[in-house]
Structure 1
Amino acid sequence: MKLKLLSFILLLTIASTFAQQFQLSDNAKISVITIGPGESLNDAFGHNAFRIKDQNRGIDVVYGYGEYDFGAPNFYLKFAQGKLNYLISRHNFSSFYYAYTNANRTIEEQVLNLSTEEKQNLFNFLENNYKPENRRYLYDFFYDNCATRIRDVAQTTTNGNLKFITPEYLEPKTFRELIHEQVGLNTWGSFGIDIALGSVIDRQAEAEEFMFLPKYIHAFFETAETSSSEPLIKNATVLYQKQGTNTSNILFSPLVVIGLVAILVLFITYKDYKSKARSKWLDFLLFSVTGIIGVLILFLWFATDHSATAQNYNVLWAFPLNIFVIAQLLKPEVKTWFKKYLKFLIIMLCLLTSHWIIGVQVFAIGLIPLLIALLVRYIYLVKLFNQN
């Protein structure tokens, strides 16, 4: 009987200690951390996290959404298909700070003006989210990422009492324009994004949809108000300022590199025109590359759960069927249907141009020289085959 009583007292003591350990004191501070862009494409958009600091309880941790689970089965396939679960992370602030200062990325902190109850609700929510059975969530770059989760968790744990006010300097922009803010227009990052993502991101974003980017979480939280019309942010601090600036080498930009490739294609086409010949290897290469890219675009469009890869009219130049008609290019004489097919490709390039002009979809500016070269090459092939 005494043993059972002692065991019960011990369990009660442990439970009481555990409850006290996770009960924040009145002096606890909760803030939103905004990390500036890094060097790689993966880091170009920045990052957001919650910081919970309670000196009375010896707590100073950071919770962030968007961590990869490299140990997940079929990681790369799931990533490509948009079926990969991401994780909430929890790190000691000292380790978090060291990692981002070592990477030379700006760190900004905004302390939230929350009641004691709201702080506890937010902390409890994050701790519950961090449990192994709750850590995973299906990531979406535009609608459910490391930034939008900060907004949504803050709203949820304050019972939706936060009022986000659009900053005065905010100008209407499409999702693609917002991406270009972070990666530039003439970079390999924007080039790949503009080819992979479809016309669905060329619609104008609603004001609160800007918050898929971490810097706009910072901007909207700065102007937000609580239910009592008080500023949501008590104070804001730059904990670390990035040193130096990035310099990009324009000589290796998509416009220059692809421009040189296009010049080469035009030069060979001119030589073929003068000699009334055809460089079969060039046509084989052009049709192979455009066909493979087209197949990948269709895969992203129809075979994945990525919401941003739908309705991608890059298939108008990277036509998937190109890869299946290559055999015709290796023959001394092509079939009549192939001549019509070439005319069809020319029409597709014209259609792409109209899509670009009227704003259905914005394409990578690095493609301009290639599109011109493809058009000239197709026209030459039509004329050459019609003479035979």
Structure 2
Amino acid sequence: MFKKITSLLFFLFVLNFSQAQYIPISESAEVSIITIGPGQQLYDKFGHSAFRVKDVATGFDIVYNYGTYDFSTPNFYTKFARGKLLYQLSERNFQPFLESYKRQNRWVKEQVLDLTYLDKETLFNYLQNNAKPENASYKYDFFFDNCATKIRDVLVEVLGSKISYTDSFIEDPYTFRQLIQKNVKANSWGSLGMDVAIGSITDRTANAWQHQFLPNYVFEAAAVATIKKNNNTIPLVKETKTLFKNSQTRTATNFFTSPVFVFSILSLIMLVVTFLDYKKNRRSRYLDSILFFTTGVIGVILALLWFGTDHTATANNYNLLWAFPFTILFFVAIGKKKPKKWLQRYLIFLLLLMTLLFIHWFTSVQEFSIGFLPLYIALIIRYIYVVVYIKKQ
């Protein structure tokens, strides 16, 4: 009986020990940075990055992807909205990974790193350990901790002072907002939505290191980086390959459904109604209720994104100057036939906020969506008219 128990314990120990071991790689193994081009969907517009470890001698070919998350996470959408969703490092066979991006018609490039066997083994072991369930999760941040920055940060953590990055891949630095907008189509709803949701923090100029929140800049930074190998300083990238070249496609655009056109029409309707009100000495109070309610709701959402989430990109958002959240409290009061006199003072306050918006815009504190410019003008004219109308009552 004692021998059976001893044998069982020994078996469990060996099993546990074997599972704890890393898969060995041969000296001919290659470690690469994989960069994927933009896709058609808004969440694909910025591209993607991953590590690839390929070892022909053992048949091992795995991609390590820091851009995955678990849809079965409890309160998934709430955590995503609040910036508290944990992203994960996942492992996948490389060929299916590549085929999925081919089907999406997204270009795929590979940069094979010129590493010593010890460096390759150390980096591979790091990825293996990081991919364990207890280590795989991390708190995602769009600018400072995402699938692209992880590539650079892991290389720096593993290789230490051996690796050296330069700023030479950046000629004209951009702001964070400009970097975002370079990847989306101008005068699109996606572009407008991001301009409204992100705050003035994105209007500061990003340095070369910070540009690497985008996969394409991780690719360019690696292309000029160097590494110390056998007492020599050599380029980090040994070879660059195009694994898939996408076919060029043109996305059809319709100006008549674009934000500039839609908000121009809505603003024109507001101005026409205001002009008719002036001619007939009346006030379309339901229009004022709709404006107070709509701008108030938008303001509440923006305030929650600023103060109620961990998203760094949505902080200090001065779109609250035109979409002031407390306005929603007065949408019923402004809709009454004879509104209270104090609402006149509140409307003057809203006009002061609109003035501050343009000051922030002209002084480059924050860039605002050009698609909303007709709306800003229409709001100012409407507020001025209602102030005068209430004063005459």
TM-score, normalising length from structure 2?
Answer: 0.94
Alignment of structure 1 residues 302-313 onto 2, 5 Å: 302-313=307-318
**Matched position secondary structure for 1:235:** strand
Corresponding residue for residue 276 of structure 2: 271
Give, as a single letter, the amino acid of the residue that structure 1 aligns with 2:111. Q
Deviations 1:243-295 (A, max 9, x none): 12332333322111111111111111112112112222211111111000001
Deviations 1:85-125 (A, max 9, x none): 11111111111011100011110110011111111111111
Whether 1:348 and 2:349 are equivalent positions in the alignment is: no
Deviations 1:108-161 (A, max 9, x none): 110011111111111111111111111111000000000000000111111242
Deviations 1:174-206 (A, max 9, x none): 100110111133221121111111111111111
Corresponding residue for residue 31 of structure 1: 32
Instruction: Kindly indicate whether the alpha-carbon contact (under 8 Å) linking 2:49 and 2:148 is maintained by their aligned counterparts in 1.
Output: yes
**Matched position secondary structure for 2:183:** helix
Whether 1:91 and 2:92 are equivalent positions in the alignment is: yes
CA distance in 2, matches of 1:283, 1:203: 36
Corresponding residue for residue 167 of structure 2: 166
Instruction: Kindly indicate whether the alpha-carbon contact (under 8 Å) linking 2:170 and 2:208 is maintained by their aligned counterparts in 1.
Output: no
CA distance in 1, matches of 2:299, 2:41: 26
Cα distance change of structure 1 residues 54 and 379 upon mapping to structure 2, 3 Å threshold:
same
Whether 1:234 and 2:238 are equivalent positions in the alignment is: yes
Instruction: Kindly indicate whether the alpha-carbon contact (under 8 Å) linking 1:185 and 1:365 is maintained by their aligned counterparts in 2.
Output: no
Corresponding residue for residue 135 of structure 1: 136
Corresponding residue for residue 22 of structure 1: 23
Whether 1:367 and 2:368 are equivalent positions in the alignment is: no
Instruction: Kindly indicate whether the alpha-carbon contact (under 8 Å) linking 1:198 and 1:312 is maintained by their aligned counterparts in 2.
Output: yes
Out of 359, 362, 376, the residue aligned to residue 357 of structure 1 is 362
Cα distance change of structure 1 residues 319 and 5 upon mapping to structure 2, 3 Å threshold:
closer
**Matched position secondary structure for 1:108:** strand
CA distance in 2, matches of 1:74, 1:10: 37
Alignment of structure 1 residues 127-276 onto 2, 5 Å: 127-168=128-169, 170-227=171-228, 228-247=232-251, 248-276=253-281
**Matched position secondary structure for 1:339:** helix
CA distance in 2, matches of 1:334, 1:6: 84
Corresponding residue for residue 294 of structure 2: 289
Cα distance change of structure 1 residues 283 and 14 upon mapping to structure 2, 3 Å threshold:
closer
**Matched position secondary structure for 1:273:** helix
Corresponding residue for residue 301 of structure 1: 306
Cα distance change of structure 1 residues 345 and 237 upon mapping to structure 2, 3 Å threshold:
same
**Structure 1, gaps ≥5 residues long:** none
Give, as a single letter, the amino acid of the residue that structure 1 aligns with 2:258. S
Deviations 1:153-173 (A, max 9, x none): 111111242111223553121
CA distance in 1, matches of 2:335, 2:11: 86
TM-score, normalising length from structure 1?
Answer: 0.95
Corresponding residue for residue 106 of structure 2: 105
Cα distance change of structure 1 residues 284 and 58 upon mapping to structure 2, 3 Å threshold:
same
Identical aligned residues as a percent:
45
CA distance in 2, matches of 1:385, 1:261: 24
CA distance in 2, matches of 1:135, 1:230: 32
**Structure 2, gaps ≥5 residues long:** none
Cα distance change of structure 1 residues 12 and 349 upon mapping to structure 2, 3 Å threshold:
closer
Give, as a single letter, the amino acid of the residue that structure 2 aligns with 1:274. K
Whether 1:335 and 2:336 are equivalent positions in the alignment is: no
Whether 1:47 and 2:48 are equivalent positions in the alignment is: yes
**Matched position secondary structure for 1:212:** coil
CA distance in 1, matches of 2:19, 2:288: 74
Instruction: Kindly indicate whether the alpha-carbon contact (under 8 Å) linking 2:290 and 2:331 is maintained by their aligned counterparts in 1.
Output: no
Residue-pair matches, total = 387
CA distance in 2, matches of 1:17, 1:313: 53
CA distance in 1, matches of 2:143, 2:78: 20
Instruction: Kindly indicate whether the alpha-carbon contact (under 8 Å) linking 2:334 and 2:343 is maintained by their aligned counterparts in 1.
Output: no
Give, as a single letter, the amino acid of the residue that structure 1 aligns with 2:271. L
Cα distance change of structure 1 residues 6 and 371 upon mapping to structure 2, 3 Å threshold:
closer
Q: What is the deviation of 1:17?
A: 10
**Matched position secondary structure for 1:159:** helix
**Matched position secondary structure for 1:65:** strand
